[in-house]
Structure 1
Amino acid sequence: MQIKSQKIISGILVIIGLIIIGSIVVWAPVCKGILELKSGNMTHMKCYYTGQASILLSIVLIVAAIESVLTKTKKPWTFIAIGIMLLVVTYGSTIGIGICMKDTMDCHKTAAWIRGGGVVTTICGLISLFMGERRKL
């Protein structure tokens, strides 16, 4: 039962990672705006960098989940899942990289997908962390 539950949780984490990547790239992409700096140079808005960091962390999450299925272990990927998604959840806030200030910008939809995926992943990581074999006395 333990190994079956780990496979289910790993499958959920792979799906969440793909959903986060899909939301950033396909159905809720971040703003395409470019900022002009005082020097005259152009740069992406901070939501672009939030999206890029979230994609990279989602890839790490997917790889860690696949690795846990192949090696039939839950640690350290459990901690990786919790840590990565806590980071991803904070990206849309003032703690992390952040997103655009205007509520009408597209990146707020992306941030909602990222936060939702982060919450589900953190819950899966915590379930996996506390799901252990019962000791026989």
Structure 2
Amino acid sequence: MQKKFSKILSGILVLVGFIIIGSILIWSPVCKNMMELASGNMSHMRCYYTGQASILLSIVLIVAGIESFLTNSRKPWTFITIGIMFLVVTFGSKLGIGVCMKETMRCNITATWIRIGGIVTMICGLISLFKEEEKEIIKINIAS
């Protein structure tokens, strides 16, 4: 039962990673427009960088989920998951890189997808952290 539970959590993490990437690239893409700086140079908007960073961290999450699924281990990725998704959740806020200030921009919808994925992932990581491991009983035979 424990291995099945671990595989379910790993599958959820991989799915969330793909959902975050899909939201950024497909159904709710971030702005790719450039803005002109006071110096005359052109630069991407903040939401573009939030999207790029979220994609990279989601790829790490997917790899960690696949590794956990294949090895039936959940301890290495539990802390990675919590840390990565804490970063992803804060990217769309004033604590992180942020998104466009206008509420009507599509990148605010993308930030919502990122936050939801981050919250689900952090919940999975916390469940994995506090779920008791099955303890194996090792019998030692002492020959007298």
TM-score range, shorter chain: over 0.9
Deviation at 1:125, TM superposition (A): 0.5
Deviation at 1:32, TM superposition (A): 2.5
Asked if the contact 1:23–1:113 (Cα under 8 Å) also holds between the matched residues in 2, the reply is yes
> What are the residue-to-residue correspondences of 1:52-131 with 2, within 5 Å?
52-131=52-131
Larger radius of gyration: 2
**Aligned residues between the structures:** 136
3-state DSSP of counterpart to 2:56: helix
| Whole-angstrom CA distance in 1 between matches of 2:72 and 2:57 | 22
Structure 1 residues without counterparts, runs of 5 or longer = none
Structure 2 residues without counterparts, runs of 5 or longer = 137-144
| Whole-angstrom CA distance in 2 between matches of 1:133 and 1:106 | 43
Deviation at 1:33, TM superposition (A): 2.3
Q: Tell me the C-alpha RMSD between the 2 structures.
A: 1.3
| Whole-angstrom CA distance in 1 between matches of 2:18 and 2:134 | 33
Asked if the contact 1:47–1:107 (Cα under 8 Å) also holds between the matched residues in 2, the reply is yes
Length-normalised TM-score, structure 1: 0.95
Deviation at 1:76, TM superposition (A): 1.5
Length-normalised TM-score, structure 2: 0.91
* 1:22-59 Cα distance to aligned partner (Å, 9 max, x none): 00000000113211012211110000000000000000
**Is 1:14 aligned to 2:9, yes or no?**
no
3-state DSSP of counterpart to 2:75: coil
